[in-house]
Chain A
Amino acid sequence: EAGVVQSPRYKIIEKKQPVAFWCNPISGHNTLYWYLQNLGQGPELLIRYENEEAVDDSQLPKDRFSAERLKGVDSTLKIQPAELGDSAVYLCASSKTGSGSDTQYFGPGTRLTVL
């Protein structure tokens, strides 16, 4: 079974430029999460989707961040415009809610560097 796929793995951009990250969850997983991991810290939840509905986006900075999950499968996280402080690793995870297990499976992440 394929794991959570993320692309790109690395991205370097200049500040004020837009950037987008893509995530493909494990097949059959209805719940998708985006986390932000700053250097030397644990991940922090940005947004959680149940199918195509964003059910928890309270930690998403909505002035510059946006996300979508069309058709309840793949998801895209966008930053526009990027700031120096956005340099971090962006992690995607998925789980099969309602299966009796709430285990989240993580992708390898996208490491963003803003210059």
Chain B
Amino acid sequence: GDSVTQMEGPVTLSEEAFLTINCTYTATGYPSLFWYVQYPGEGLQLLLKATKADDKGSNKGFEATYRKETTSFHLEKGSVQVSDSAVYFCALSVGGTSYGKLTFGQGTILTVHP
């Protein structure tokens, strides 16, 4: 079945450090890929998405590139801020009978210190 694997956390960084959170996937068919973020006490928010190979999603300084050859969608940010502290989820969605179903990774907790 479809699955998403994220790098194990938690991740602790100092402000202005470079961030990478690894995400790899297994899917039947051609998935769309997403990164969601969950701030403390809030619901999941879509951070960025990509729907085909080599697409780059970007938002709020975060970027991720859809790599079909390595089945990966790693999240990066050049300079993190304290306000980026949250839980980050990689997810995929495929079409067909599973259309609309998001399959999530286990989440990565990011803590950024001043």
B89 beta carbon closer than 8 Å to chain A: yes
B41 beta carbon closer than 8 Å to chain A: yes
The smallest beta-carbon distance between B28 and chain A, in angstroms, is 15
Question: CA of A43 to CA of B107 in the docked complex: distance in angstroms?
Answer: 9
B86 beta carbon closer than 8 Å to chain A: no
List the B side residues contacting A106 at CB < 8 Å: 36, 43-45
List the B side residues contacting A4 at CB < 8 Å: 43
A108 beta carbon closer than 8 Å to chain B: yes
Task: Let me know if B46 and A109 touch, CB within 8 A.
Answer: no
Partner of A102, one of B32, B89, B104: B32
List the B side residues contacting A45 at CB < 8 Å: 101-102
Most buried by B among A48, A103, A106, A108: A106
The smallest beta-carbon distance between B24 and chain A, in angstroms, is 14
Task: Let me know if A42 and B104 touch, CB within 8 A.
Answer: yes
B49 beta carbon closer than 8 Å to chain A: yes
The smallest beta-carbon distance between A78 and chain B, in angstroms, is 21
A27 beta carbon closer than 8 Å to chain B: no
A87 beta carbon closer than 8 Å to chain B: no
List the A side residues contacting B100 at CB < 8 Å: 31, 33, 48, 56, 95, 97, 102, 104
B75 beta carbon closer than 8 Å to chain A: no
Partner of B106, one of A42, A93, A104, A109: A42
Task: Let me know if B43 and A42 touch, CB within 8 A.
Answer: no
Binary contact track B23-44/A, C-beta < 8 Å → 1, others 0:
0000000001000100001111
B93 beta carbon closer than 8 Å to chain A: yes
List the A side residues contacting B45 at CB < 8 Å: 106
Task: Let me know if A42 and B101 touch, CB within 8 A.
Answer: no
B4 beta carbon closer than 8 Å to chain A: yes
B91 beta carbon closer than 8 Å to chain A: yes
Task: Let me know if A40 and B106 touch, CB within 8 A.
Answer: yes
Task: Let me know if B106 and A41 touch, CB within 8 A.
Answer: yes
A25 beta carbon closer than 8 Å to chain B: no
Task: Let me know if B107 and A40 touch, CB within 8 A.
Answer: yes
**B interface, CB within 8 angstroms of A:** 4, 32, 36, 41-46, 49, 89, 91, 93, 97-102, 104-107
